[in-house]
Amino acid sequence: MSNNKVAIVSGGSTMIGQKVALALHNDGCKIVIADINSEDGETFAKELGEDGIFIKTDITVDSDIDNCIEQATTAFGGVDYLVNIAATYLDNGIESTREEWLSALNTNVVGGAMFTEKIASHMQKRGGGSVVFFGGISAKIAQPGRMLYAVSKAAILGMTRNMALQLAPMKIRANSVSPGWVWSNPIRDFSGNDRAKADEIGGPMHMLNRIVDPEEVGNTVAFLCSDKASAITGTDIPVDCGYMGMGPEQASDKVSKLAE
C-alpha cells in the first residue's frame, strides 16, 4: 500500500476502530479518526504522530461529515479509503419505540450511507478508492433480545452490494466485514475487562473456541482497502473464528448422546 493513501475511520476511537486504524497506518496510510469520543480519539491520534489526526464527527449530522471530509483533504490532500465503523447499540428488542428505531437506523445505516455518498467524488479525484462497511453476525442469524442492531446490520449488507454497483464506474470498491464476537468495548465492559471470561463464554460458539481479536478485524479491513483485494467488491467477509459456519449442534454435547 502506498504511503500517500489517506483513510477516514468513523468510530475510530473504539477498540476495534483503533486496531483498524493501526492496521491501515502500518500499511503506510495517513489516518483520520472520526468519532464523537474526543478523549480517546485525540489520545490515539497523538500516538500515530504526524500521520494521524482526530476530527470530532457525529455521523448523524451532515455538517459534521462535511467538516470531517474538508479537514481531512486539507490536512492530507485527499481521501482514498473510508471505513464505516461508528454505530449505536441502542436496542430494546421487539419493544423498541419508533424513535429508537429511527435513531438506530439513522446512526447505523444512514450515517455510513451519507458519509460514503459525500466522499465518493473526493475518492474519484484520486483515481478511485475503497469503502468498508461493518455488518456482523447479527445481520445473519437471530439473537436473543436483538432487533434494531440486527436489522440495521442486515441493511448494511444489502447497502454494500448496491453501493459497490453504483460506485464501480468511479473505480471505488465497496465491501463489508462481519465480525463474530470481538474483544471490543461492549464485551470488555460486559465481562468486567476479563478476556479469559469472554473466551470461556463466547468460545464454544466459534470453531476456533475463542472470540475474535480486534487486530484480526483490522488486518482484514486493511486487506480489503489494499490493491491485493483489487477484484473484490460487493461482498461480505466474515471475520468470526468460524461462528457462521458452525450450527448450534456443534456446541452441544447432547447430540452425541443420541447414539448411546
Say whether pTM exceeds 0.75. Answer: yes
pLDDT at residue 189 in the model: 86
CA angle 139, 251, 215 (to 5 degrees): 55
Say if 1 falls within a structural domain: no
120-129: pLDDT as tens digits: 999 999 999 9
Lowest mean pLDDT among 35-44, 72-81, 131-140, 194-203: 194-203
Total number of domains constituting the chain? 1
Lowest mean pLDDT among 6-10, 30-34, 240-244: 240-244
Looking up cell 446512526, which residue turns up? 107
Cα 101 from Cα 58, distance rounded (Å): 18
Residue 44 belongs to what domain range?
6-259
What single DSSP character describes residue 182? B
Cα 173 from Cα 136, distance rounded (Å): 19
- Confidence band (pLDDT; 50, 70, 90) for 228? very high
CATH code assigned at 103: 3.40.50.720
92-128: pLDDT as tens digits: 999 999 999 999 999 999 999 999 999 999 999 999 9
Say if 179 falls within a structural domain: yes
- Confidence band (pLDDT; 50, 70, 90) for 246? confident
Helix ranges, 84-203 (H):
98-105, 111-125, 148-167, 185-190, 195-202
Q: Print burial letters for 216-249: b (CB count within 10 Å at least 16), e (below 16).
A: bbbbbbbbbbbeebeeebbebbbbbbebeebeee
Cα 160 from Cα 235, distance rounded (Å): 7
